[in-house]
Amino acid sequence: MSETKSVHDWAKDWQALSQQYWSAWGDLARQAGAAPRFDVATPWHEGLEQWARLFGGAGRQSEVVERLGASAKSFVSLMQSMLSTAAGNDGAAASVWTDVLRQGFNLPGIDASLLNNPLAASLRDLSGKGAHSLEQGMAELLRLAAPVKQEWLNLLGTPAFGYAREHQERWQRLSAALAGYQEQTNRYNALILKASERGFERFQSKLAEREEPGRQLDSVRAVYDLWVDAAEEAYAQVAMTDEFREVYGDLVNAQMKVRSLVQREVELATAQLGMPTRTEMRSVEKAVHELRRAAKSREDGMASVSAAELAELKTELAELRRQVGAAKKKPAAARSVPKQAVKTSKSKR
């Protein structure tokens, strides 16, 4: 806290800042032909939603706008949380600031699984155009397989004999695979939560090192950057454990198992409609590949024969030149081109 400002002054500044903040967003919205809908009590990060809307979602840079918007939203929320705490709190301990930071990431309406877990939130935000997470892939797979899944659920309750027995066994395998995937997802999420918690611990410890005069952090950005350092270090430490390696592998394998079983169900359904299946397409792709390789192998063989023949001809030509040169040096009566060499050359063509 500045020595020249009282808590009361700071509160007035804070009110003025909020007013200025929203006035600026209002001006920007009006310039873009939108109606501003804010008051000073609105959480700051909502300004970012208005900002993203200014692009209309159709801009050439919409992906960057989306990624930038999500990150800036987190940062602005953190900024608001920290600045409102900064008033009169110069002496607050590292633990207080760690709590403020933690709360700053808990945006209103946040998914309960992401509370106090900014790492999980960041991993979820990673998905978008050009980056497709395992979690997102699974959600899409299950959405696309919804009709098959409904049939599977309906028939799971039917007696396991006769025609239905094989189907039911497949669906039971799929059901078990889905349960397995869920279990692995929970194990993975638990490790990510652990990494988030360790990130806050590490941050607090790094922050405590800054209590000496002259080493204090003097901006929200500096606090944020220190937290990123701490959180990445904690994540790397967890991610390099044998436990993480095992859980990561198990998660990927579990998802692939579900995918492969769903693919089989979809194949059975599409085959009944007379449509080409994935297996059939693979078979064709493989045949095409083998044909392509065989053709190239023949071309390579022909090219190497041609190259060998060319090399042989070059050698013969050199020999002929040598002999002609030698003959020129002899008396005219003795000049002759060795017939044998010419014959050999022709016979090899």
Residues 23-82 that bind other proteins (CB under 8 A): 24-25, 28, 32, 47-48, 51, 54-55, 59-61, 63-65, 67-68, 70-72, 74-76, 79, 82
Interface pattern 197-236 for other proteins (x via CB under 8 A): ----------xxxxxxx-xxxxxxx-xxx--x--xx--xx
Site for other proteins in 302-341 (CB under 8 A): none
- 8, 30, 173, 282: which one contacts other proteins (CB under 8 A)? 282
Task: Indicate the residue among 100 and 171 with the shorter CB distance to other proteins.
Answer: 100
Nearest residue to 230 (alpha-carbon basis) of 209, 207, 212: 207
171-198 per-residue burial string, b: 16 or more CB within 10 A, e: under 16: beebeebbebbeebbebbbebbbbbbbb
Q: How far apart are CA 251 and CA 123, in angstroms?
A: 15
Task: Indicate the residue among 158 and 189 with the shorter CB distance to other proteins.
Answer: 189
Residues in binding contact with other proteins, number by CB under 8 A = 105
Burial class (CB in 10 A: 0-12, 13-18, 19+), 48: buried
Site for other proteins in 172-191 (CB under 8 A): none
Distance linking the first and last C-alpha atoms of the chain: 95
Task: Indicate the residue among 68 and 107 with the shorter CB distance to other proteins.
Answer: 68
- 33, 35, 41, 91: which one contacts other proteins (CB under 8 A)? 91
- Residue pointed to by tokens 């590949």: 289
CA 130, 131, 137, 139 torsion: positive or negative?
negative
- Whether 107 contacts 117, CB under 8 Å: no
- Whether 54 contacts 32, CB under 8 Å: yes
Q: How far apart are CA 303 and CA 284, in angstroms?
A: 28
- Whether 22 contacts 39, CB under 8 Å: yes
Task: Indicate the residue among 97 and 171 with the shorter CB distance to other proteins.
Answer: 97
Using the contact rule CB under 8 A, the part of the chain among 127-135, 145-153, 319-327, 329-337 near other proteins is 127-135
| The length of the chain, given as a count of residues | 349
Contacts of 136 (CB under 8 A, 6+ apart): 127
Provide, rounded to whole angstroms, the least separation between the CB of residue 316 and other proteins. 20
Provide, rounded to whole angstroms, the least separation between the CB of residue 75 and other proteins. 5
295 lies in the site for other proteins, by CB under 8 A: no
For residue 119, count other CB atoms closer than 10 A to its CB: 23
Interface pattern 132-171 for other proteins (x via CB under 8 A): xxx--x----------------------------------
Task: Indicate the residue among 54 and 341 with the shorter CB distance to other proteins.
Answer: 54
- Any idea what DSSP says for residue 274? T
Using the contact rule CB under 8 A, the part of the chain among 9-17, 147-155, 175-183, 333-341 near other proteins is 9-17
Task: Indicate the residue among 259 and 341 with the shorter CB distance to other proteins.
Answer: 259
